[in-house]
Amino acid sequence: MAMKKKSHIAIFPSPGFSHLIPFVEFAKRLVLQHNNFHVTCIIPTDGPPSKATKAIVESLPTSIDSIFLPPVNFDGIAPGLQVFLTATRSLPSLRHVLESLVSKTHLSAFLTDMFGTDTLDVAKEFNIPPFIFFPSPATALSLLMITPKLDETVCCEFRDLPEPVEIPGSIPIHGKDLPQPYQDRKSEMYKRLINLAKQLNQVEGIGVNTFTDMEYGAIKALQAQQGEPNSVISPPVYPIGPIIQTGSSGTEANGSECLTWLDNQPRGSVLYVSFGSRGTLSAEQLKVLALGLEMSGQKFLWVVRGPNELPSAAYLNGQGDFDPSEVLPNGFLERTKGQGLVVASWAPQIEILRHGSTGGFLTHCGWSSTLEGVLFGKPLITWPLFAEQHMNAIMLVEVLKVALRPKANENGLVEREEIAKVVRDLIEGEEGKRLGQRMNDLKDAANRALSKDGSSTRALSELASKWQNVEAPK
């Protein structure tokens, strides 16, 4: 029997570690499931790649290679816009790389994410079919698809709307809970989102990092509109998740310290607290959170990052050497020595969530962290900060019922008594047990989706066969 010819695709993630990981994991899943694929990962940069980025790239299988583009300059650019502008400013170097690739091989697809849509025209110049990999939830994609229409029909700021916004396949969401760019319709970010939503109809398919049982309504709504003459979206949508980081997330010293500490705690007794790689709280909220964790009497493992008033807390920036005792209440570390473990800036999240002693996860509801919580069956406390995290929190609490959400006071601060109550409810209360049971059901559904004949495995196979059937240009 003749060997199947290898298919070659190129992927282009947005800048930043949290964008690179889902793309790399998607590529790994593709080549594992379909061994006749080769992937080139083209990585835009705004400076030298971080140690973590290099480690990820160096550990890739041989069927995935990577190319770092020359860094782009961001002098005088607002941090929020950098993620949009990196793709735009990398177009000349991307064109050069694609030209070199197509001179040697036939590329059957080019994938980027929602911040890289300016690159789609370059792919088309070389007759490479363009696709989107959407590493966020289907609900966010559903909102994005109706944004141009919303923009025409709504005349005030979304947060001032008396009625919630109807998102196809989702529960209605109040305007104040829509992602950040929607909170200021005059902003450059919002204008770019509208433009981006219009560009999505140029692609030949959208792979979404979700699975049917988690977002049944949104996925069905997106698929139902496909190809309809008046539809907002015409490309087919493929739910191919949950895609999370696989393998060890590092061997740093505080990694082994966390796991050794967890080994000595009772099963299901520890609340893991982390706001992701970019999430930061105000100095005041950070202190109140500490006092609430202490007051709960429950065990906790907390990854502390500097408060967001510090310059080092800026978007896309890592935090270098940082001492948590500088930002925590006086005496907190001494008083909670037997109760909790505090680590600075980074911890091996996958290994912590996998651990039997971890009984719950207080999270900012970033989509990667949310999916990790689901795959390891840990009930959640939601503490959304930015992007689509408020929408994710609403889905987790009100639709899926696998999470609790602490209430803030009229000044937006979550007080220590509220934190202590919610933590106790999750770790030792009856409600926590009910959430844990539902989260276990969702975990089983996620594993079914990824099984040999599961819905996500089938969706990825559909995409792969589409790419395998792309004819090389004559």
Residues 310 and 228 in one domain: no
Q: Residues 271, 300: contact at Cβ < 8 Å?
A: yes
Residues 357 and 428 in one domain: yes
- Return d(Cα 101, Cα 120) in angstroms, integer: 16
79 lies in some domain: yes
363 lies in some domain: yes
Residues 84 and 230 in one domain: yes
pLDDT, tens digit only, all 474 positions of the chain: 345 678 999 999 988 888 899 999 999 999 999 999 999 999 999 889 888 889 899 999 999 999 999 999 877 777 667 777 888 899 999 999 999 999 999 999 999 999 899 999 999 999 999 999 999 999 999 999 999 999 999 999 999 999 999 999 999 999 999 999 999 999 988 998 999 898 888 899 999 999 999 999 999 999 886 655 555 556 899 999 999 998 655 545 557 899 999 999 999 999 999 998 778 899 999 999 999 999 999 999 999 998 876 433 333 344 456 789 999 999 999 999 999 999 998 899 999 999 999 999 999 999 999 999 999 999 999 999 988 999 999 999 999 999 999 999 999 999 999 999 999 999 999 999 999 999 999 999 999 999 999 999 999 999 999 999 877 665
Provide CB contacts within 8 A for 393, sequence distance 6+.
Answer: 365, 382, 383, 384, 403, 405
* Count of C-beta atoms within a 10 Å radius of residue 420: 19
Backbone phi and psi for residue 332, each to the nearest 5 degrees, phi listed first:
-60, -50
**Catalytic site positions:** 19, 113
396 lies in some domain: yes
What CATH number corresponds to the domain at position 347? 3.40.50.2000
Residues 168 and 311 in one domain: no
474 lies in some domain: no
456 lies in some domain: yes
Residues 178 and 258 in one domain: no
SS3 8: strand
* CA of residue 454 relative to chain centroid, distance: 22
* CA of residue 69 relative to chain centroid, distance: 23
Residues 286 and 339 in one domain: yes
Cis peptide before 242 (omega within 30 of 0): yes
- Domain ranges, residue 462: 7-245+449-468
Residues 309 and 417 in one domain: yes
Residues 219 and 279 in one domain: no
473 lies in some domain: no
* Count of C-beta atoms within a 10 Å radius of residue 10: 26
Residue type, 69: L
Residue among 447, 432, 428 at smallest CA distance from 376 = 447
- Return d(Cα 395, Cα 213) in angstroms, integer: 13
Residues 124 and 11 in one domain: yes
344 lies in some domain: yes
289 lies in some domain: yes
Residues 411 and 453 in one domain: no
Tokens 């969702």 sit at which residue? 442
Distances (CA, A) of 246 to 22, 29, 350, 379: 10, 10, 8, 21
Residues 76 and 92 in one domain: yes
Residues 224 and 280 in one domain: no
- Tally of structural domains, the chain: 2
Residue among 248, 267, 249, 244 at smallest CA distance from 446 = 244
- Return d(Cα 137, Cα 217) in angstroms, integer: 12
